[in-house]
């Protein structure tokens, strides 16, 4: 890049910021007791040192947290090391061959570059004339096509595509099991919807649900075909437990998607706070 084009790009970004941008927070609040998959270690945030526990000579003191959580808890991204099929990771790597210390050096979450990309929200229930997708409903390629057509937002290579089902309304439900949906099932794409995304060569796909894809009633996480197709077969990252209601309510379907996973060396996932910038 030449100095001139660099300046031009910077100027354009600065001008946009100065003109004012809308920022939608697509991450969920992390709190003790929030719904999460029992497949992953529970979230725990404590305050082992409180103000006053150690007071400096000048009268000041600090409070310090201790955080314990799985990397697939709350809004999070799945790295390519997260899922294997028949012992193989994306690209054919041996899934049992985690590197020193059990870390996934080649496909760990630290290998996911920060994302600043075109984002598309596919508000499926809005397109189908529903308030939300029913429990256990499979979002089909026809539904995705209908949503794209209604919104006028085609999906292209390199995009980050976020699929709203409306299931996110259960995240703050006092019954914490509702969002996880092991009994009821959870709406989302199945194998066919995953292939629809893969055919369009998206960079990442996200949803407002616990596991991105449809969970059949009573089946829990026993079969996850979209994880296999997207992560293992096509190297497409997944983002789960997103908050897509605010951006949907604003009627924003196209935006700049911004997200930086924590560079947890060799980890299978990372908590994230994705943003949609308009």
Binding positions for ligand UVW, rule: CB under 6 A: 37, 39, 72, 78, 210-211, 221, 227, 240, 269
Closest approach of ligand UVW to the CB of residue 39, in Å: 5
DSSP string, 206-262: EESSSSSB-B-TTTTTS--HHHIIIIIIT--EEEES---HHHHHTT--EEEEEE---
Closest approach of ligand UVW to the CB of residue 268, in Å: 8
Closest approach of ligand UVW to the CB of residue 83, in Å: 7
Closest approach of ligand UVW to the CB of residue 26, in Å: 16
Closest approach of ligand UVW to the CB of residue 142, in Å: 25
Cβ nearer to ligand UVW, comparing 72 with 203: 72
Burial call 151-177: b when 16+ CB within 10 Å, e when fewer: bebebeeebbbbbbbbbbebbeeeeee
Residue 70 half-sphere exposure toward CB, CA atoms < 13 A? 18
Closest approach of ligand UVW to the CB of residue 232, in Å: 12
Tokens (6 digits) for 20: 């004012």
Beta-carbon contacts of residue 210 (< 8 Å; ≥ 6 apart): 35, 36, 37, 179, 180, 181, 186, 240, 241
Name which of 216, 207, 172 is nearest 35 in CA terms: 172
Helix, coil or strand: residue 107: coil
Cβ nearer to ligand UVW, comparing 223 with 252: 223
Cβ nearer to ligand UVW, comparing 247 with 272: 272
Cβ nearer to ligand UVW, comparing 82 with 253: 82
The answer to whether 131 and 125 are in contact (CB under 8 A) is: yes
Beta-carbon contacts of residue 52 (< 8 Å; ≥ 6 apart): 61
Cβ nearer to ligand UVW, comparing 211 with 242: 211
Cα-flanking dihedrals φ and ψ of residue 240, to 5°? -125, 160
Task: Classify strands 237-240 and 204-207 as parallel, antiparallel or unpaired.
Answer: parallel
Cβ nearer to ligand UVW, comparing 181 with 269: 269
Closest approach of ligand UVW to the CB of residue 40, in Å: 6
């Amino acid at each position: 890049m030449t100095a001139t084009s660099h300046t031009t790009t910077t100027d354009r970004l600065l001008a946009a910021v100065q003109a004012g941008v809308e920022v939608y927070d697509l991450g969920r609040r992390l709190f003790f007791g929030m719904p999460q998959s029992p497949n992953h270690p529970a979230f725990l945030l404590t305050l082992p040192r409180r103000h006053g526990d150690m007071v400096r000579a000048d009268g000041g003191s600090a409070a310090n947290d201790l955080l314990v959580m799985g990397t697939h808890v709350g809004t999070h991204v799945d790295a390519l090391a997260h899922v294997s099929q028949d012992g193989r990771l994306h690209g054919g790597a041996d899934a049992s061959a985690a590197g020193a210390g059990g870390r996934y050096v080649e496909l760990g979450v630290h290998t996911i570059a920060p994302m600043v990309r075109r984002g598309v929200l596919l508000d499926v229930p809005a397109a189908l004339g529903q308030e939300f997708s029913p429990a256990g409903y499979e979002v089909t390629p026809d539904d995705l096509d209908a949503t794209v057509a209604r919104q006028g937002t085609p999906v292209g290579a390199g995009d980050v595509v976020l699929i709203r089902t409306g299931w996110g309304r259960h995240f703050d439900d006092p019954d914490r099991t509702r969002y996880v949906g092991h009994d009821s099932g959870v709406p989302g794409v199945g194998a066919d919807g995953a292939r629809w995304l893969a055919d369009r060569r998206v960079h990442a796909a996200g949803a407002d649900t616990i596991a991105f894809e449809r969970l059949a009633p009573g089946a829990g996480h026993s079969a996850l075909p979209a994880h296999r197709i997207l992560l293992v077969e096509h190297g497409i990252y997944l983002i789960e437990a997103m908050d897509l209601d605010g951006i949907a309510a604003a009627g924003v379907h196209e935006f700049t998607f911004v997200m930086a996973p924590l560079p947890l060396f060799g980890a299978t996932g990372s908590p994230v706070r994705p943003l949609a910038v308009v």
